[in-house]
Every structure is written in structure tokens, then in C-alpha cells.
Chain A
Amino acid sequence: MNRHLLSIDDLDPSDIQQIFTTAAEMHDVQKRQVKKLPALRGRTVINLFFEDSTRTRSSFEIAGKWLSADVINLSAKGSSASKGESLRDTVLTVTAMGIDGLVVRHAASGAAEQISRWIDVPVINAGDGTHEHPTQALLDGYTLTRRLGTLEGKHVAIVGDLTHSRVFRSNVKSLTKLGATVTAVAPPTLMPAGVGDWSKAAGFATAYDLDAVLPEADAVMMLRVQRERMSGGFFPTAREYTVGYGLTRDRLATLKPGTPILHPGPMNRGLEISADAADALDSVVLDQVSAGVAVRMSVLYHLLAGEETSA
């Protein structure tokens, strides 16, 4: 396994399976009274978040703590970054405190990879701009594998704001590595530019008609409409988006029975996902959250517990 986790590209299918196998064991630990393993005792992990995040940060924090690591959260708000310090200086400063791993989220695509070149401890990308969010894709893949048994030959529809979605980019890579076929569904304005060549190279399909895709899908992943990343009119009104691309009650009825519904959260109820879908029996949104801790424990374990490898 690679020393860093910056992108799903860092993992081959056997690495992903190994992460899932370990995560399954970690999942069992969550059910115990003593939810602690000593694997990272004496190791220090810093969660360096330059972007707002509640679930990913707390998920990494819990994951680190259950592995007995010391976890420190640094939010860039109110930190030296807002006083004008460069990213490089911030990163070198926290690393100089003697840490063993860095979990980083940043609004700029490629930030995690850049940081990994500056320091010699493992870096885990917890989301960089619109590029990648590998642990989210891993927990989605893990949740689906638990639910469907295998992803080999399964058809996953990923629906929503694909242009701005790092979750989409990471998921396309990991789901295809796991043998699934992916159909990306979005309004033309939210389909990434150049998706034609990309989808051919990466082996996924694109569609603009959600109603045609849903009855064929073995799993549906709804992505959040990221209003904070939008500067301009990607769709006329929220209502219009919902009519075309929201998982409404009517659309829910067109799914094959037992089709799991995923959403990375936070959900915009009533916009991309209806309350009926979010709370449906087949909604695995909360499974994704608990899987998130298990998968992040697994990733932290594999990157930080073992033998020191040179970069």
C-alpha cells in the first residue's frame, strides 16, 4: 500500500479489499463495550482542516481515538492561516511538533498532494477542492459491498452536482476498481466539462435522464447540491432541480426493491433527496456514517501502524 492516501489512484483493487477486510473487523469493535484498540498507541495524528467539516473531521477523530492515537484537531479558522501564514509554513509548523500522520482538508484541489511533498509523514486526503475525497469513496464502497455482497457487475447511479463533487471523482475510480459499472447523472450544467473523454477513459456512462436510469440501478448515490461552490446559475430554481434530478417519492417507487440509497451528507432534504427517500428502509445514509469510522480506522491502521517505509 502507498505511504499516503491522496487519491483512489494510490490504491489497487487488492489494497481496497484489504482496507475493507480490516474495516469489517473495526466495525465489530464499534459494537463492543471497550471500543479501543492499542494499534496506534503513542502515535499522534493531526486533523488539519482548512474547510468546514463536521462529520469527516469527527469521524477521523473518533477513528484515531479508537485506535489509541492522540488526535488533535486544527481548524484553519482563527488559526495562523487567517493571519497570513502560507500553507507550507502552517504544515511545516504542525509537522515539526513531532506528529506521525496528517489528515488534511483544503478548498484547493491538489493541496493534499502538494503537502505530501513537503513533509515526510503519511498524509491522508480528507477532501481537496473538487478533486478527491478518497475515504468517502472507500466508505461508500464498503457500505455497498456489505449491502450487495459484491460490486462485481453491479450498476451504481451517481446523481447530482458532479462538477463540484470530489466524492463523485473518488467514487468513479473506486467503484470501477471494485468491478461496478457507474452511470453519472446530472443536468448538463452540472456535468463536468470534458466528461466525454474522461468517461471513455475511465469507463463510466453519463446520462441526463434520471428516470431512465433509476429502474436499472442496483444502488443510487445522491450527491449534495453544493451551493457554497456555485457562483452563478447552474439551474434556474431549486424546484426545477428537484423536478429533474431530485430523488422524489415518485422516483423512489421506480427503484428495484431493496436498492440501497446513499448520500454522503449533509443532505438538502427537499432538494436533491426527499424525506421519503432519506428515511426509506433502503436508505443507508446512517450506515455510511458508521462505516466511515470503521473505514477510517482501517486506513489509519494501514498507513500508520506498520513498518516505517521510505517515501
Chain B
Amino acid sequence: MPAQQTSKAHDGTVSGRVVLDAGDISRALIRISHEILERNKGAEDLLLLGLHTRGVPLARRLADNIAAVEGTTVATGELDVTMYRDDLRSHPTRAPHRTQVPAGGIDGKTVVLVDDVLYSGRTIRSALDALSDLGRPAVVRLAVLVDRGHRELPIRADHVGKNLPTARSEHVSLRLVETDGEDEVRIA
């Protein structure tokens, strides 16, 4: 799926121009944290569910931001959508990542799906299917660090760090300290 390819550089080397640096990413995440709180009228029943791979550390950072503002801890979890993808048959299989939700489950919670780059929307479609097998959240919202457009499904994000108009031929590579050693979004 395109959204996955674009989240890392093809050959591991860093190329292209920087569109978001560490400071930009940090500010965007702080703003999103406030938006989530505002929208939810507080931190109650909130569950930040990061999509593998880079959505997971992003969800944790949002939770840390919210904890700093509200003084309460927010539940986080991780969701792997491998089994729910619509393009399983066009790739060799790979082992799924962990799916982990808090012991209380997701029933009745306000689940905020957190992903790095929103592109075709197919990953989010898979995530919505995966969620419905895990339980019945009261509300599901979507927070992404970058929205690069080119949606293939009627899906939009509720909270966007940066809208990044791109051509389909361009590659967006998003790197995070937790997974790649530095915070940076490049376009090439």
C-alpha cells in the first residue's frame, strides 16, 4: 500500500527536502493534543490507538502531551491491521505486529486512531474493520501527522499536523526518533 512505502525512504538513505523538522513536528503534536482534548471535552474515556509502525510512538507522544496539560494519564494502545488489508494477496506475507489495547477494552471509549501519513485511506479502512472486531467504541476519530492527499476512499482525518500537497509520484518520508533516530518529514 502506498501509505506504507512512503513512510520510509526506499533504500534507507535520506533524500529530498525537509518539510517538517523536529520543532515543527513537536508543535504539531502539541496542537493535536489540545485539539483532541477540546473535542473530547477533557481526557475522560480517551484511548489513543497508534497504528503500526510509526503511529505507535506518535500516540505515546500525544498521550505524554495530554498528561502534561491535564495531569491525567491517557490510555494508549497499538493496532496492527495486517490481517485486514485489502492488498494481502499482492505482497508476500509478513508477521503481524502486536495489537494491544488496555485491559478494559475499547467498548464505549473515544478511540483516536493515530497514524503518521494519511494517503490512500486504505490503512484506516482496515483499522476501522479491525476495531469492530475488538469491540464497539463510542466514537472513533483520526489523527495524523501528515495528510498528503490522494484519498481512494471516503475517509478524512479529524486532526492533521500538516496538510502536504503532493504529487503521486513524490515520496513522503517520515522519520521519528523512536524508530529512525531523528524527527523529520521529507518530500522527494
Using a CB–CB distance below 8 Å, which chain A residues touch chain B?
1, 18, 21-22, 25, 28, 32-34, 36-39, 67, 301-302, 305-309
A38 & B129 in contact (Cβ 8 Å cutoff): yes
A22 & B89 in contact (Cβ 8 Å cutoff): no
Residues of chain A with a CB closer than 8 A to B93's CB: 1, 301-302, 305-307
A306-B133 in contact given A28-B99, A37-B83, A39-B83 (Cβ < 8 Å): no
Selected from B92, B96, B133, the residue in CB contact (under 8 A) with A34 is: B133
A307-B90 in contact given A18-B95, A21-B95, A38-B83 (Cβ < 8 Å): yes
B28 CB to closest chain A CB (Å) equals: 31
Q: With A21-B95, A39-B84, A302-B93 given, can you name 5 additional A-B contacts, CB distance below 8 Å?
A: A25-B97, A32-B134, A38-B83, A39-B83, A39-B88
Which of A18, A307, A308, A309 is the most central at the interface, judged by chain B CB atoms within 10 Å of its CB? A307
Selected from A18, A25, A306, the residue in CB contact (under 8 A) with B89 is: A306
A25-B80 in contact given A18-B95, A306-B93 (Cβ < 8 Å): yes
A295 CB to closest chain B CB (Å) equals: 13
Selected from B89, B98, B99, B129, the residue in CB contact (under 8 A) with A305 is: B89
Query: Nearest B residue to A34 by beta-carbon distance?
Result: B133
A307-B95 in contact given A32-B134, A38-B83, A38-B84 (Cβ < 8 Å): no
B41 on interface, CB distance cutoff 8 Å: no
Query: Nearest B residue to A298 by beta-carbon distance?
Result: B95
Residues from 119 to 151 in B contacting A, C-beta threshold 8 Å: 129, 133-135
Residues of chain B with a CB closer than 8 A to A305's CB: 88-89, 93
Using a CB–CB distance below 8 Å, which chain B residues touch chain A?
80, 82-84, 88-99, 129, 133-135
Query: Nearest B residue to A23 by beta-carbon distance?
Result: B95
The A interface, classified by DSSP as helix, strand, loop or mixed, is loop
> 7 A–B contact pairs at CB < 8 A?
A1-B92, A18-B94, A25-B97, A25-B99, A32-B133, A33-B135, A307-B89
Selected from B84, B91, B134, the residue in CB contact (under 8 A) with A306 is: B91
- The distance in angstroms between the C-alpha atoms of A116 and B82, with both chains bound, is 28
B92 & A306 in contact (Cβ 8 Å cutoff): yes
Which of A33, A34, A305 is the most central at the interface, judged by chain B CB atoms within 10 Å of its CB? A305
Residues of chain B with a CB closer than 8 A to A306's CB: 88-89, 91-93
B98 & A25 in contact (Cβ 8 Å cutoff): yes
- The distance in angstroms between the C-alpha atoms of A169 and B93, with both chains bound, is 28
Residues of chain B with a CB closer than 8 A to A22's CB: 95-96
Residues of chain B with a CB closer than 8 A to A18's CB: 94-95
Which of B83, B92, B93, B99 is the most central at the interface, judged by chain A CB atoms within 10 Å of its CB? B83
Residues of chain A with a CB closer than 8 A to B96's CB: 21-22, 25
- The distance in angstroms between the C-alpha atoms of A37 and B97, with both chains bound, is 14
Residues of chain A with a CB closer than 8 A to B129's CB: 38
Residues of chain B with a CB closer than 8 A to A36's CB: 133
B136 CB to closest chain A CB (Å) equals: 10
Query: Nearest A residue to B129 by beta-carbon distance?
Result: A38
Query: Nearest A residue to B89 by beta-carbon distance?
Result: A307
A300 CB to closest chain B CB (Å) equals: 10
Query: Nearest B residue to A19 by beta-carbon distance?
Result: B95
B134 & A34 in contact (Cβ 8 Å cutoff): yes
B131 CB to closest chain A CB (Å) equals: 11
Query: Nearest B residue to A20 by beta-carbon distance?
Result: B95
A303 CB to closest chain B CB (Å) equals: 8
Top 5 A-B pairs, shortest CB-CB distance: A306-B93, A21-B95, A37-B83, A39-B83, A34-B133
- The distance in angstroms between the C-alpha atoms of A33 and B135, with both chains bound, is 8
- The distance in angstroms between the C-alpha atoms of A28 and B79, with both chains bound, is 13
